[in-house]
Structure 1
Amino acid sequence: MGKPTVVVDADSCPVKEEIVEIAGDFGVEVVFVASYDHVKNDSLGGTWHYVDIGKESADLFIMNYVKSGDIVVTQDTGLASTLLLKNVKVLHPRGNLYEEKDIQSALHMRYLAAKARRRGHYGKGPKPYSKEDIVRFKNFFIKLLSKNEGDL
């Protein structure tokens, strides 16, 4: 089995630069998927694919693009749940790995939050992204790529 490709749900990913830097150290290809609303003029590195602005366009592209053994970075629990079925490792930008054993409860919490929002109840939202989150992500991403290196 060859090296995995790292695919990034790029529209709201706060660790794009860290991904390019670390993946480069391991010689791993990085593919960013973003909507046309988020076209970047400055080259961050990696390969960029731009998709329609529609709500699920990036998710559909990623689902069709990835293969077993790849790594996806996303904050989208729904996307993560479908990718786990394809034997894809899915990492949250805060450094948490989505796992099959936890995904049903995460989807249920997402459903309850959406239901509350439809009734006009809005929570605080996620806590602000911190330096500790970046460190946790970098450490886990390195660990994940190191583990894949051993599989080659």
Structure 2
Amino acid sequence: MKIYVDADACPVKEVIIEEARDFEVPVILVTSFSHFSNAKQPSGVKTIYVDSGADAADYRIVRLVEKGDIIVTQDYGLASLGLAKGIIVLHHKGFRYTNENIDQLLQTRYLSAMARKSGQRTKGPKPFTAEDREKFRDLFKQVISREKLR
């Protein structure tokens, strides 16, 4: 098992690294070169840099991920590609993408995009909170511990 993180805008990277270390699960942060850092990563964490082009990180993650791995992303498109490969996909606000909820999420995203394209204003996502962080931590620990038992 490995954990792949769509890392460009992920607000729970530290939580993922901390909890994955406790379970001895490797973490791969996939991010664009525009977020390059010389900072040394903790043991068990690897960073893969990709071009800054649209969806470059998503395509790299889809190429690397294997059955039994976990993806953490806020991108519904990447989530649907991961689900199609039978991967566990988590959102940083503490919910799991499923085959039952992904169609509705993609439909909502599409309708919002069409509304914006026609000049309408749409609401953005609610701010990320400490409660969201803890909800993610709880779900993440639950998923890893269950998957480690398999």
- Shorter chain as normaliser: what TM range? over 0.9
Residue 142 of structure 1 deviates from its aligned partner by 0.3
2:29 maps to 32
Residue 44 of structure 1 deviates from its aligned partner by 4.0
**Any idea what SS the aligned residue of 1:84 has?**
helix
Alpha-carbon distance change, 44 to 124 in structure 1, aligned in 2, over 3 angstroms: farther
**Structure 1: gaps (5+ residues):** none
Matches within 5 A, 1:38-49: 38-45=35-42, 46-49=45-48
**Any idea what SS the aligned residue of 2:48 has?**
strand
| Alignment equivalent of 1:12, drawn from 9, 13, 30 | 9
Aligned residue identity for 1:150: L
Runs (4+) off by over 4 Å: none
**Any idea what SS the aligned residue of 2:101 has?**
helix
User: Deviations for 1:74-124, whole angstroms, at most 9, x for unmatched residues?
Assistant: 000011001101110000001100000111111111100111111122223
Residue 41 of structure 1 deviates from its aligned partner by 2.9
Q: How many angstroms apart in 2 are the aligned matches of 1:50 and 1:122? A: 34
**Any idea what SS the aligned residue of 2:68 has?**
coil
Give the TM-score normalised by the residue count of structure 1. 0.94
**Any idea what SS the aligned residue of 1:34 has?**
strand
Aligned residue identity for 1:81: S
Residue 43 of structure 1 deviates from its aligned partner by 3.0
**Any idea what SS the aligned residue of 1:136 has?**
helix
Pair 1:76-2:39 in alignment: no
Give the aligned CA root-mean-square deviation in angstroms: 0.9
1:93 maps to 92
1:124 maps to 123
**Any idea what SS the aligned residue of 2:4 has?**
strand
Q: How many residues align?
A: 148
Q: How many angstroms apart in 1 are the aligned matches of 2:75 and 2:85? A: 16
**Any idea what SS the aligned residue of 1:101 has?**
coil
8 Å CA contact 1:20–1:44 kept in 2: the answer is: no
8 Å CA contact 1:17–1:44 kept in 2: the answer is: no
Residue 145 of structure 1 deviates from its aligned partner by 0.6
2:58 maps to 59
Residue 130 of structure 1 deviates from its aligned partner by 0.1
Give the TM-score normalised by the residue count of structure 2. 0.96
